[in-house]
Amino acid sequence: MCGIVGYIGGKQAAPILIDGLARLEYRGYDSAGIAVIEPGSALIVRKAPGKLSALVDSLKGATPEGFSGIGHTRWATHGSPTEANAHPHTDCSQQVVVVHNGIVENYLALKEDLQKQGHPFASETDTEVIPHLIESYMTEGVGFEEAVRLTAQRIQGAQAVVALHVKDKGRLVAFRLGNAGGITVGYGNGEMFLASDLPALLPYTSQVAFLAPGEMVTIDAADARFRSIKGPAIRKYPQAAPYDSVAIAKEGFRHFMLKEIMEQPSMVHRAIGGKVSFEPADVHLPGFPFTDPQVREINRVVLTGMGTSLYACMVGRTYMEHIAGIPAEADNASELRYRGPILDDRTLVVSVSQSGETADTLAAMEEAARQGAKQITICNVEGSQSTRMAHGTVFIGVGPEIGVASTKCLTGALAALYLLAVRLGKARGFLNQGRVESLLNDLASVPRLIGQALEQEHLCERLSQKYGDAFNFLFLGRGINMPIAMEGALKLKEVSYIHAEGYPAGEMKHGPIALIDKSMPTVALAPSDALHDKMRSNIEEVKARGGKVIAVVTQGQHDLADIADDLIEVPLSPYLVSPMVHVAPLQLLAYYFAIKRGCDVDQPRNLAKTVTVE
Ligand code: AGP
């Protein structure tokens, strides 16, 4: 979850590290720190609890000088967000300095051993065992790089580490174990970079290489040398980075979240553009790995993910059933991995992950691989771990998503799942050509329909003023829009800290209705579809108990005008694509509620963009 940067070259390291950390703050913002080796070989470590701005303020303009260094922005797991627990961490002699992302699962045993050997500990973190272990190997006469390698063999759990040694300031050594986020190497001209994620590197280089689990790298100002943690050298060459830095700037929007909500029409258009053709109507998924006979063997689809990606899976389940004609289920990855699921080579496991690095999703994929299931991942980050684990990938393709609250990646993932279902349905003979054409025409209308739904931005802002003092919200939906109700509640919780619950509307009478009174507004998704009358009955039930209702309805549909307190009108949308349209006003509501309450929209408290720990 934490962000890591490293620099070595001819420029001052500290400003580059701080700039990189600013681009990675979405990974965690409980504390920040940098370590730089000064030309006289003094190690300077500066850290501060809180956001990166607190670190910058604490430097008071006296930025440490030196040409190599490492930096870290933390999402706390072991130990509260204090200065002592902030990274970088050092050994006893202040010679080894380390930044770390992930969890050292056996740290208690290692710490006990190291303490017995006389190593004092200054923090409550698991991380601190790493510099002490490196130091203990070096006191036995082992060189720095080898000491890092041996340390990597001693620690358990998924993690990424970058280490620097004061007497070896011309090199940075990094390794990756398991799936706790990656290490990307950036190649410059006479300078080299390391980072946990691409956005930190893109202003400096477009040539990158990725570290796979079990690999380590040593960089100097000129080049990178890769090897397996087990020992043998690995050949790896720089490749063009998949994103450009212009694409991740805010482009005049106040927050990334708003930018990413508003760019959904163009991004979804871009995402489906390259995957669909119309004469004849067809789907082209370059990363789709299975032959038609292999597809016909599939007798079940299991979709899995976490958070917003799980809600995408729940909509995807309907796509698999209605478009591909295959029995499907959607399951929370953190549950799937431990439940002892029954999977086999006739099961297609579809994982959905914006980042491709979510620990629980990757663990569920590992379980699926162990049982021999076919696997496809729906992912937005090229080169990420889920894309390396699955047999094939359908890229979401909506450009980098920086806001911690996922928005455009949900609509993009839904479009990708829809296309995957068409591809499967065609291969299985479940869809005739006419149906393929009409499904693709419906999908092609989505960018326009989302654009129209986003025209309700000012109404959503006004509603945030009207209802912004409520402490609790209920979100209700049915059918394909039920997961969208759950997503609406998640978005509101995440960015505005208002308690919200998303429910299938039919479930309301079985408990949640007890909560309803005039202080708990309900957002009801009630478009003109086959379930509209059922939704109207649920809305009547809320009103009969004095509740306030904001109804999301189809433009021109007036039967709820006298019942609901407020209407948000969205364009008439084909049923199967309607979730991509109906989610837009819910995203805007969450955004404007957060603004009204003065919340930090792009960096909500306690959250991180990518959850690389269990
Ligand atoms: C969404 O707004 C959340 N920040 C979170 O639920 C997210 O969707 C979840 O952590 C899964 O992430 P992934 O898509 O990168 O796997």
Quick one: what percent of the chain has pLDDT higher than 70? Answer: 98
pLDDT of residue 78: 84
CB hemisphere CA count around 24 (13 angstroms): 35
Residue 257 host element (H or E) = helix 256-262
Is the Cβ–Cβ distance between 378 and 420 less than 8 Å?
A: yes
Residue 507 has pLDDT above 70, yes or no: yes
| Angle (deg, nearest 10), helices 408-427 and 307-322 | 30
Task: Calculate how far, in angstroms, residue 311's C-alpha sits from the geometric centre of ligand 1.
Answer: 10
Tokens matching residue 252: 């005049």
**For residue 181, which of 192, 195, 193 has the smallest C-alpha distance?**
195
Higher pLDDT, 435 or 167: 435
pLDDT of residue 246: 59
- The residues lining ligand 1, judged by C-beta closer than 6 Å to any ligand atom, are 305-309, 353-355, 358, 361, 404-406, 494, 610-611
Confidence of residue 79 (pLDDT cuts 50, 70, 90): confident
Using one digit for the tens of pLDDT, what is the confidence trace for 102-130? Answer: 889 899 999 999 999 999 999 999 999 99
Angle at 467 between CA 464 and CA 470, to 5 degrees: 120
Residue 554 has pLDDT above 80, yes or no: yes
Angle at 362 between CA 359 and CA 366, to 5 degrees: 135
Tokens matching residue 513: 């209705």
Ligand 1: residue of 179, 304, 308, 591 to mutate (most ligand atoms within 8 A of CB) is 308
Q: Residue 609 catalytic?
A: yes
Q: Residue 599 catalytic?
A: no
Residue 245 has pLDDT above 90, yes or no: no
Confidence of residue 178 (pLDDT cuts 50, 70, 90): confident
Residue 189, SS3 per DSSP: coil
CA distances to 26, 278, 295, 392 from 283, rounded to whole Å, are 34, 9, 15, 15
**For residue 39, which of 18, 13, 59, 71 has the smallest C-alpha distance?**
13
Q: Which atom of ligand 1 is nearest to the CA of 308?
A: 8
Task: Calculate how far, in angstroms, residue 158's C-alpha sits from the geometric centre of ligand 1.
Answer: 19
Tokens matching residue 448: 């326009």
Instruction: Mark out the alpha helices in 306-429 (DSSP H runs).
Output: 307-322, 333-339, 359-370, 385-389, 408-427
What value does the mean pLDDT of the chain take?
Answer: 93
Residue 63 has φ and ψ, to the nearest 5°, of -75, 130
Neighbours of 62 (CB within 10 A): 9
* β partners of residue 375: 349
Task: Calculate how far, in angstroms, residue 356's C-alpha sits from the geometric centre of ligand 1.
Answer: 10
Is the Cβ–Cβ distance between 542 and 522 less than 8 Å?
A: yes
Residue among 2, 313, 409, 460 flagged as catalytic: 2
Q: Is 384 exposed, middle or buried (0-12, 13-18, 19+ CB in 10 A)?
A: buried
Residue 244 has pLDDT above 70, yes or no: no
Quick one: what percent of the chain has pLDDT higher than 90? Answer: 76
CA distances to 8, 37, 123 from 69, rounded to whole Å, are 7, 6, 21
Could you give the dihedral angle defined by the CA atoms of residues 18, 20, 23 and 24, in that order, rounded to the nearest 10 degrees? -100
Distance CA 540, CA 523 (A): 13
Q: Which atom of ligand 1 is nearest to the CA of 610?
A: 15
Mean pLDDT within 385-414: 94
**For residue 601, which of 486, 502, 491 has the smallest C-alpha distance?**
491
**In angstroms, how far apart are the furthest CA atoms of the chain?**
81
Is the Cβ–Cβ distance between 575 and 484 less than 8 Å?
A: no
Higher pLDDT, 202 or 436: 436
Confidence of residue 542 (pLDDT cuts 50, 70, 90): very high
Tell me which residue has tokens 């957060």.
594
Mean pLDDT within 495-509: 93
DSSP symbols for 27-62: G--SEEEEEEE-TTS-EEEEEEESSHHHHHHHHTT-
Residue 485 has pLDDT above 80, yes or no: yes
Task: Calculate how far, in angstroms, residue 354's C-alpha sits from the geometric centre of ligand 1.
Answer: 7
Mean pLDDT within 245-258: 79
| Angle (deg, nearest 10), helices 264-273 and 408-427 | 30
Task: Calculate how far, in angstroms, residue 25's C-alpha sits from the geometric centre of ligand 1.
Answer: 16
**For residue 407, which of 550, 546, 307 has the smallest C-alpha distance?**
307
Residue 543 has φ and ψ, to the nearest 5°, of -65, -40
Distance CA 486, CA 474 (A): 9
pLDDT of residue 218: 97
Bin 511: left if φ > 0, else alpha if -120 < ψ < 50, else beta: left
pLDDT of residue 180: 64
Confidence of residue 447 (pLDDT cuts 50, 70, 90): very high
First to last CA, the chain: 10
Residue 462 has pLDDT above 90, yes or no: yes
Could you give the dihedral angle defined by the CA atoms of residues 92, 98, 103 and 109, in that order, rounded to the nearest 10 degrees? -20
Ligand 1: residue of 406, 408, 487 to mutate (most ligand atoms within 8 A of CB) is 406
DSSP symbols for 484-546: HHHHHHHHHHHHH--EEEEEEGGGGGGTGGGG-STTS-EEEE--SSTTHHHHHHHHHHHHHTT
Higher pLDDT, 516 or 332: 332
Using one digit for the tens of pLDDT, what is the confidence trace for 340-357? Answer: 899 999 999 999 999 998
